[in-house]
Chain A
Amino acid sequence: MTDERWPRVKALFQDAVERPPGERDAFLASATADDATLRREVESLLAADTSHAGFLDQLPVATESVLAYPLAALLPGTDPAPSHTVLAAGLRVGPYEIVAPLGAGGMGEVYRAHDVRLGRDVAIKTLPHEFARDRERVSRLRREARTLASLNHPHVAAIYGLEESDGTDFLVLELVEGQHPAGPLPVAEALRIGEQIAQALAAAHARGIVHRDLKPANVMITPEGEVKVLDFGLAKAVYGQEDEGTVRAQNVSAAGSLTGHAIGTPAYMSPEQSRGEQLDPRTDIWSFGCLLYELLTGVRVFRADTVQESVNAVLEREPDWRLLPAKTPAKVRQLLRHCLQKNVDQRLAAIDDARKTIEQARDSGNRWRIASALVLVLAAVAAIAFWLARPVKPTDSSQWVPLTKFPDSVAQPALSPDGRTVAFVRGESSFYGPGQIYVKALPDGEPVQLTNDALDKMSPVFSPDGSRIAYTTVNPEFQWDTWTVPVDGGEPQMMLKNASGLVWTGPRQIMFSEIRTGVQMAVVTSEETRAAQRDVYVPPNEPDMAHRSSLSPDGKWVLLVEMDIDHLWEPCRLVPAAGHSSGQKIGPPGGGCTFAAWSTDGKWMYFTSNAVGANHIWRRRVPDGKPEQITAGPTAEEGIAMAPDGRSFVTAVSALGASLWLHDSNGERQISLEGNAANPVFTADGSKLLYRAVKEQPSEFAFYRDPGEVMVADLSSGRVKSAVHGFRVLNFDISRDGRQLVMEAPDEAGRNRLWLAPLDRGAPVRQVPNVEGGQPHFLPDGEIVFRHNEGAPTSDGSLGFIYRVRPDGSGLRKAVELPVNQFNFSSPVSPDGRWVFGWGPLGGHGPAAGQAYSLDGKTPIALGGLGQIAWAAGGTLLSITGSPRAFFVPLAPGQMLPPVPAGGFQTDEEIARLPGARRIEGRLVTVGPSPDIYAFYRGNTQRNLYRIPIP
């Protein structure tokens, strides 16, 4: 069949197929007239349409697509709901709207669901059918669920309760996203995770709750690196006492988890659990030992091919202790032996002892770590780097010479062969991203833009004669190509397709990366025309990508940077240029290496590595020196262009921050100068903006835990000064008259106290007597409301209550009867002083939500999970802030809140519909005295090129 006929075939088929089968023949006969070929075509399609065993319908992809995951359910009148999925997306069960299945657990299906009352997502787990029919067991589970719900711990995924709607019973659980831990992990990381699991177990055991099914699949590492232990005690709660559901090997499926009424998973089950005996907390200690062993070694301690073997191994075999990594501290080795004692009476009795042991082992491992605000997931990486690194010998940053002064970001410097011109990408990314190629004559020529297109770019490099710049582009189809552009200006030309990170290794010889299968990226070398191409390095796995390479001056070795299977940067690799070996990793251990270069004499290898959290420059003497860090400090340094004279290199130095900006009638301008800004608060008259200057890296929500000085920005003069010099606080507020500060800071004993200071520095700081607490705010009458911690931390924050007190310490009393988790917001006090905004459990014990709490004892008003409420200092405006937007809502005189839908605002649209509501785009907008004055955060990457002398 030719393509020209297809439109006709298609039209006839679509027409015919809509008709009853009996009429099709006649229709086709008249429509195709004497064109028998055409008719056969259409008929063959019609036959394929009616064939019941259609191949396409058997494809797993086809049957599982819309049918198993029916977004259709959200859209009426489309595909039918599936038969085997219990709950379809879009379905409402009680207050929960099903979003999507998360997978089938051991006990039933698990779904992501949206709690429309509270405006947040939860996980709901349906119960097995045979279980749900047994009302006695359901009511027992309901009792158990209440006990389990009382377990509040930051490392335990909360169980909110057992609910029932329209005959469906389901558990409502905290939604935890992340990955299950999988060994082998670096020792420090394994211990960090182990410690948090031990904390979770300790909290549960203290309440008499035994997990009974601890294994990697029941542990989640959140994207923030926090550990959450899932399904505490659920196995027993659902299946009852051991004597009712004794585990027998023959009941166990080979897939690794149990079927039927069994509890536990063979490979992690304690011997007494395998034998179906009564259990106590020590069964969890055994499983904990199995888990920690696996995190350290990457191997299941009692691995076996069948369940029966697995059970036998648990009962009889000794763990292979030789597999533990050499760096495992002796204390931890001992602990593992103690946890994995087959005789329960000889086993470690209290999980808290395990926690202490790991804590001690970690502390001694961390002795060398400098205190720095590392992201948690990087902490372990840093610890390892410091074991191996020599003491830092940083260059003196006052000797660094700025080469560019862009207001935004430039990156990826390259020097011309004579060292007189620098090329770079002007753009946000130091990998590939939107941006343009620039050149600049050194030291003080004007920057010249050479490209002007929408392609993502990276890795500019000069040609050997210095006349052209080659660079990598990444197009929307994720194809990586090399282009060149003349240094004097002119049209960019495609040089090589499927070639990235290209460098010249001789006058006509190049080395570059080439995609093989999928995205597997190999380093190859060839002539400029791609003739005589041969492999230098092919990474082992398909998704691995070797992005950049650098040939040693003697031509014998290639340094390269690569990404692993998860597209995370690996330490740098050194391979022989001849290409016969995959060489070895030599970059700073534990850190991702993004750039590498050789010193001009070939005696040193230079790297950009984040082994200490931030990117800095490292080097290592050839052949076997230890890595040493040569830049340090608050900035990050990325990229290395060696000067031809060998005495300096050029790198891109960046200061990442989230700075505080002001929007007013004069436009937008930056307020915070150095470090990051937290807790912006306007004075009531709008003349000043106060904030806390912190050194922490910016976070999405700007809830910084780093104490900092209160800064006062005078908005008319633009001057910024410290309010109380040298006094570092956690939270603060300014009185309505703009004269008094109240601050939260620890006293000498480490207890959080409230402190007062006049803004004009006319008197020293004094403590509010007899009060312990934090997150203080002034009421209009000068009294202070603050939060006092009362109890163990919960998944939503610690439990506490709002109190009020006069500045002299008198009149201390509870201001709100219900507990409040968080009160560290900007301007959370209504103008009339009768309402405060906080984040706390609904009804005092439900899930947490943003609420307006009455100081007069009225019922709180749930405001939903969309953001935080702040009242403008002038009292005529309310802001509802999310990220990256806020809504300003005008208030009538005397009005404190706009009409709030029952359960709070669920969508932006509901807020946008409020009379006079105005949408403000921006991160974490803080409302000022009028709708035209507000502060907001702007993430800024200021990155410029510097020349750093080689030490």
Chain B
Amino acid sequence: MVSPRDVTALLGNWSRGDRDALNQLLPLVYAELRRVAARQLRSERADHTLQPTALVHEVFIRLVDQRHVDWQNRAHFFGVAANVMRRILVDHARRHLASKRGEGVRCVSIDEAQDVAAANEMPILALNHALDRLETVDAELAKIVELRAFGGLTIEEAAHVLGVSPSTAKRDWRTAKAWLNRELDSKVRP
């Protein structure tokens, strides 16, 4: 069992530029997020919805010693967690979708998922798909959406993780939202 202090120390090392610390951190965050998400899915109602930011925060509280972490380290943590959370949510949504269609998980292609998603059934898959496309256009914009939508970061924190000024982050966030709105809108209305 990794103690909160270890994770806190890893975060500190990482924000000071130690790449190894990230290598050690990622599996911990991943495993813990999975565990928490799995538990929530088991215990909640049948039509469960994952609440990603709640999960990420829960994991943060469990893994990190709150008294020994400053907000920059916290931002870094959420930066990692956001990406992991996105993967977990997308997997979960695909599975949910597959079970609704009475098929095996692996039988659903992204495109199929997208069709259903466009009908507003699985917004998470649609967002994921749109984010993938945004990534090819402007990776920075995609990252800021990931940080905010899946990691629950504020503009200020996302700016810190991305190494840009808060005003740039704010502008980019607005741009990304407009881009995604347009992208998703055009799919919903043929």
Contact = CB atoms under 8 A, between A and B. Distances in A.
Interface in B68-95: 68, 71, 74, 78, 87-89, 91, 94-95
A99 interface: yes
B57 A69 contact: yes
Interface residues of B, number: 73
Interface string B40-74: 00110100010111100100111000111001001
B180 A180 contact: no
Contacts of B20: 434, 454
A603 interface: no
Contacts of B53: 61, 64-66, 68-69
Interface stretch (A52-60, A331-339, A396-404, A798-806): A52-60
Contact of A61 (B74, B127, B182): B127
B49 A46 contact: no
A45 interface: yes
Contact of A75 (B43, B71, B185): B71
Contacts of A79: 154-155
Interface string B123-140: 110110000000011100
A13 B178 contact: yes
Contacts of B68: 908
B181 A60 contact: no
Contact of B106 (A44, A48, A516): A516
A346 interface: no
Interface in B149-163: 149-157
B23 A456 contact: yes
Given A49-B181, A884-B5, A55 B188 contact: yes
Contacts of B95: 517, 542
Contact of B152 (A71, A516, A542): A71
A790 to B, nearest CB: 31
Contact of A3 (B137, B153, B154, B181): B137
Contacts of A866: 67
Contact of B179 (A45, A58, A66): A45
Contacts of A72: 154-156
A57 to B, nearest CB: 8
Of listed A48, A114, A566, residue having the most chain B CB within 10 A:
A48
Interface residues of A, number: 74
A565 B174 CA distance: 39
Contacts of B116: none
A119 B67 CA distance: 8
Nearest to B171: A14
Interface in A63-119: 64-66, 68-72, 74-75, 78-79, 99-101, 103, 112, 114, 119
B105 A517 contact: yes
Contacts of B184: 55-56
A870 B166 CA distance: 44
Given A61-B150, A66-B148, A884-B9, A14 B175 contact: yes
A434 B91 contact: no
Contacts of A56: 127, 149, 177, 180-181, 184
A48 B185 contact: yes
A131 interface: no
Given A10-B138, A100-B61, A71 B153 contact: yes
A171 B39 CA distance: 27
Nearest to B42: A182
Contacts of B109: none
A71 B154 contact: yes
A66 B35 CA distance: 23
Interface in A529-567: 542-543, 565-567
Nearest to B85: A61
Given A55-B123, A59-B123, A44 B138 contact: no
Contacts of B123: 55, 58-60
B57 A100 contact: yes
A141 to B, nearest CB: 28
Nearest to B74: A71
B175 A66 contact: no
A674 interface: no
Contacts of B138: 6, 10
A62 B66 contact: no
Given A59-B123, A517-B91, A54 B23 contact: no
Q: Which of A69, A454, A477 counts the most B-chain CB atoms under 10 A from its CB?
A: A69
A20 interface: no
Interface in B3-28: 3, 5, 9, 19-20, 22-24, 26-27
Contact of A99 (B54, B62, B66, B148): B66
Given A61-B149, A71-B154, A566-B35, A517 B127 contact: no
Contacts of B31: 567
Contact of A44 (B156, B175, B182): B182
Contacts of A884: 5, 9
A454 B156 contact: no
Given A3-B137, A48-B181, A56-B184, A62 B153 contact: no
A687 interface: no
A37 interface: no
B110 interface: no
B152 A51 contact: no
A470 B51 CA distance: 41
A542 B91 contact: yes
A47 B182 contact: yes
A883 B65 CA distance: 11
A445 interface: no
A907 B153 CA distance: 24
Contacts of A456: 23
Contacts of B175: 10, 13-14, 17, 45
Nearest to A119: B67
Given A49-B178, A478-B30, A518-B87, A61 B52 contact: yes
B155 to A, nearest CB: 5
A99 B57 CA distance: 10
Contacts of B62: 177
Interface in A19-47: 44-47
Interface string A805-849: 000000000000000000000000000000000000000000000
Nearest to B177: A56
A434 B24 contact: yes
A948 to B, nearest CB: 29
A71 B71 contact: yes
Nearest to A55: B184
A519 B175 CA distance: 34
Contact of A55 (B1, B23, B91, B185): B185
B38 interface: yes
Contacts of B171: 14
A223 interface: yes
Contact of B178 (A45, A78, A517, A543): A45
A78 B154 contact: yes
B54 A59 contact: no
A779 interface: no
A224 B49 CA distance: 30
A528 B79 CA distance: 39
Given A58-B123, A883-B5, A476 B177 contact: no
Contacts of B42: 182
Contacts of A179: 39
Closest 6 CB pairs of A and B: A48-B182, A48-B181, A49-B178, A72-B154, A55-B184, A54-B181
12 contacts: A10-B138, A17-B175, A48-B177, A48-B181, A56-B177, A66-B154, A71-B152, A71-B157, A72-B154, A75-B156, A434-B23, A518-B91
Given A68-B152, A101-B57, A543-B34, 6 more contacts: A59-B124, A66-B153, A433-B24, A476-B22, A477-B26, A566-B34
Interface of B: 1, 3, 5, 9, 19-20, 22-24, 26-27, 30-31, 34-35, 38-39, 42-43, 45, 49, 51-54, 57, 60-62, 66-68, 71, 74, 78, 87-89, 91, 94-95, 105-106, 123-124, 126-127, 136-138, 148-157, 166, 171, 174-175, 177-182, 184-185, 188
